């Protein structure tokens, strides 16, 4: 079984055929997906989808949404985590973090939301799903201040030294469609050289399409439709990791699933249930 540790199944891009997207993923062998929230307004959506389709979910406020979040949204997140603390499909606090790529974001507000959500993860004993974009050192600083029960640095594209520090703090690193591009030299090198207990697989669907789905700006300008990523692409993405590491597909599935469970322990009974 393949496990997609990061998929935004609630995104509007899936509104027309969401059930078919899940069916294609299952047919491809993707037995579980983790659906991270991005703001208070989609907490119910990710939870309901996780229960409807026997998946998993996380609750958090994404850094790109902190600008429109209300100040009391952190209290609402606390209350929802408390309300759902016994829900077996709630596996993490996320997607949280800091983004220094998108211009115009309030860095101090992002930092405040990030640190507050790390504290919630600590208090509720949940791992974190981290958004890391030109922000690895800031995230590491927060993790050293506020100890959390591990988690995943999603779509990791940092340095070797930064990767080692995340791993030392108990986090796994997420690899997805970006790994399939031959010019993504650092991502591919990390995927090759990190200890085998570190990489987990993800799609970030509908985003970060692998190279076989990608449309360049020139292609889009010429009329080619932008391509939506799907969780059903995960097994082919996984073969990129297998090729880089010299693993068999079977070992890749087993190892990355074990890594995901180590990062998000509440996945263990969900994975076991899919095996029955």
Handedness of CA 66, 61, 140, 184 (dihedral sign): negative
- The 10s digit of each residue's pLDDT in 135-180 is 999 999 999 999 999 999 999 999 999 999 999 999 999 999 999 9
- Give the 3-state secondary structure of 164-221: HHHHHCCEEEEECHHHHCCCCHHHHHHHHHCCCCCEEECCCECCCCCCCCCCCHHHHH
**Alpha helix positions (H), the chain:** 18-27, 43-53, 73-83, 107-124, 136-145, 160-168, 185-193, 217-221, 234-245, 249-263, 267-274
pTM: 0.96
Predicted local confidence at residue 221, as pLDDT: 62
The CATH homologous superfamily for domain 2-274 is: Metal-dependent hydrolases (3.20.20.140)
Predicted local confidence at residue 159, as pLDDT: 97
Residue 134 phi, psi (nearest 5)? 55, 35
In the block, which residue shows the tokens 């796994």?
172
Residue 263 tokens read as 């990062």
Please state the length of the chain: 276
Predicted local confidence at residue 219, as pLDDT: 72
d(CA 95, CA 196): 24
**Closest of 173, 177, 167 to residue 129, by C-alpha:** 173
- Domain residue spans in the chain? 2-274
Specify whether the CB–CB gap between 33 and 267 falls below 8 A: no
d(CA 13, CA 249): 30
Residue 224 tokens read as 């080619």
Burial of residue 87 (CB within 10 Å: 0-12, 13-18, 19+) is middle
- The 10s digit of each residue's pLDDT in 104-146 is 999 999 999 999 999 999 999 999 999 999 999 999 999 999 9
What DSSP element (H or E) covers 64?
Answer: none
């Amino acid at each position: 079984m393949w496990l997609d540790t990061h998929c935004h199944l609630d995104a509007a891009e899936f509104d027309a055929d969401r059930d078919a997207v899940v069916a294609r993923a299952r047919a491809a062998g993707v037995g579980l997906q983790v659906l991270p929230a991005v703001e208070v307004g989609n907490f119910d959506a990710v939870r309901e989808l996780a229960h409807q389709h026997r998946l998993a979910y996380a609750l958090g406020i994404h850094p790109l949404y902190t600008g429109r979040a209300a100040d009391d949204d952190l209290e609402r997140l606390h209350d929802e985590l408390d309300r759902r603390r016994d829900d077996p499909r709630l596996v993490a606090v996320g997607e949280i973090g800091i983004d220094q790529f998108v211009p115009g974001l309030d860095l101090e507000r992002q930092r405040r939301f990030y640190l507050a959500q790390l504290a919630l993860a600590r208090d509720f004993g949940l791992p974190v799903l981290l958004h890391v974009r030109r922000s690895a050192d800031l995230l590491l600083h927060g993790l050293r201040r506020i100890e959390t029960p591990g988690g995943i640095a999603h779509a990791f594209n940092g340095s070797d030294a930064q990767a080692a520090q995340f791993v030392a703090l108990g986090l796994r690193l997420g690899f997805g469609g970006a790994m399939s591009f031959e010019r993504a030299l650092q991502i591919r090198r990390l995927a090759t050289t990190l200890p085998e207990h570190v990489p987990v697989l993800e799609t970030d669907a509908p985003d970060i399409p692998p190279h076989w789905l990608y449309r360049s700006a020139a292609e889009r300008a010429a009329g080619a439709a932008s391509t939506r990523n799907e969780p059903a692409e995960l097994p082919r993405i996984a073969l990129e990791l297998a090729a880089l590491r010299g693993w068999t597909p079977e070992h890749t599935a087993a190892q990355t699933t074990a890594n995901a469970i180590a990062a998000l322990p509440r996945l263990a009974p969900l994975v076991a249930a899919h095996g029955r």
